[in-house]
Amino acid sequence: MLLGVGVLAAGLIAATAVIPGFGPRALISSISGAFGGVTCDDTVCPPDAEWTRPIDAPVTSQFRSEERPSHHGVDMAAPRGAEIYAASAGVVIVAECNASLDGEPYSCDVDGSPEVGGCGWYVKVLHAGVFATLYCHMETRPEVEVGDAVVTGQLLGHVGSSGNSSEPHLHFETQVGNDVVPPNSNSAVDPIFFMEERGAPLP
Ligand SMILES: [Zn+2]
């Protein structure tokens, strides 16, 4: 079984209520301001941007299944080193290592394990519509940096097994925010439906 991210971002918006469904599109421009100094305006986060699957690999673990209710994304099994692409145009708001073991920071440059916590090397991209996508467990430091504008399908990094992971795979989240709450793991929705609605169904 592949493992994923149970703890990531749980503290970010701790206690915030889950956001049901998708917020009104009218909120898009109102949140185009700063995310930690990163701007997501219509130029870098075009509202009409196309969507594409982040990797051509099968979903092997579902969103918030009965066995894993706190699994806020899907796992897509792919060989180590496979390319991971931005699901849509946007701006990179996180590109870093997130891993810990027994409360101590842990390397992302080695394989993680079920005992290691965190997303490993990962990227979060903010998109128009107050959406964000999250890509976890990369093999090495991501190919993008915070503040980078990315286009649909741009290379973000490579599949690995860093962080809370038992074998190489991509943990992919689709998160929905609004003008008050930034997109986060607690506000994630099922990527299978999210991507299907955007014409980029997961395999
Ligand atoms: Zn996962």
User: For residue 174, what is the domain's CATH number?
Assistant: 2.70.70.10
In a domain, 37, yes or no: yes
* pTM summary value: 0.84
Residue 53 belongs to domain spanning: 27-196
CA of 158 relative to ligand 1 center, distance in Å: 16
Q: Is residue 11 part of a domain?
A: no
Half-sphere exposure of 108 (CA within 13 A, CB side): 23
Q: Compute the C-alpha angle 71/184/138, nearest 5°.
A: 65
Residues 50, 28, 63, 121, Cα dihedral to 10°: 80
- Average pLDDT of 128-142? 96
Residue 7: predicted pLDDT: 40
**Both structure tokens of 117:** 């916590």
pLDDT tens by residue, 27-40 = 333 344 456 667 78
Domain count along the chain: 1
Instruction: Output the average pLDDT for the chain.
Output: 86
- 112 confidence band (pLDDT: 50, 70, 90): very high
How many other CB atoms are found less than 10 A from the CB of residue 28?
19
**Spatial separation of the C-alpha atoms in residues 22 and 96, rounded to whole Å:** 28
* Ligand 1 centroid, distance to 68 Cα (angstroms): 9
Summarize the confidence of residues 125-146 as an average pLDDT.
Answer: 96
In this prediction, residue 35 carries a pLDDT of: 64
pLDDT band at residue 14, thresholds of 50, 70 and 90?
A: very low
Q: How far is the CA of 159 from the centre of ligand 1 (A)?
A: 13
Domain contains 190:
yes
What is the whole-number distance in angstroms between the Cα of residue 1 and the centre of ligand 1? 10
To the nearest whole percent, how much of the chain has pLDDT over 70?
82
Q: Residue 134 pLDDT more than 50?
A: yes
Q: What CA–CA distance (Å, rounded) separates 48 from 129?
A: 10
CA of 3 to the centre of ligand 1 (A): 5
Note whether residue 122 is domain-resident.
Answer: yes
Q: How far is the centre of ligand 1, averaged over its atoms, from the C-alpha of 154 (Å)?
A: 22
- Tell me the CA–centroid distance for residue 32 and ligand 1, in Å: 29
- Tell me, yes or no, whether 9 lies in a domain: no
Confirm whether 19 is domain-assigned.
no
Distance in Å, CA 90 to ligand 1 centroid: 22
- CA of 62 from ligand 1 middle (Å) equals 8
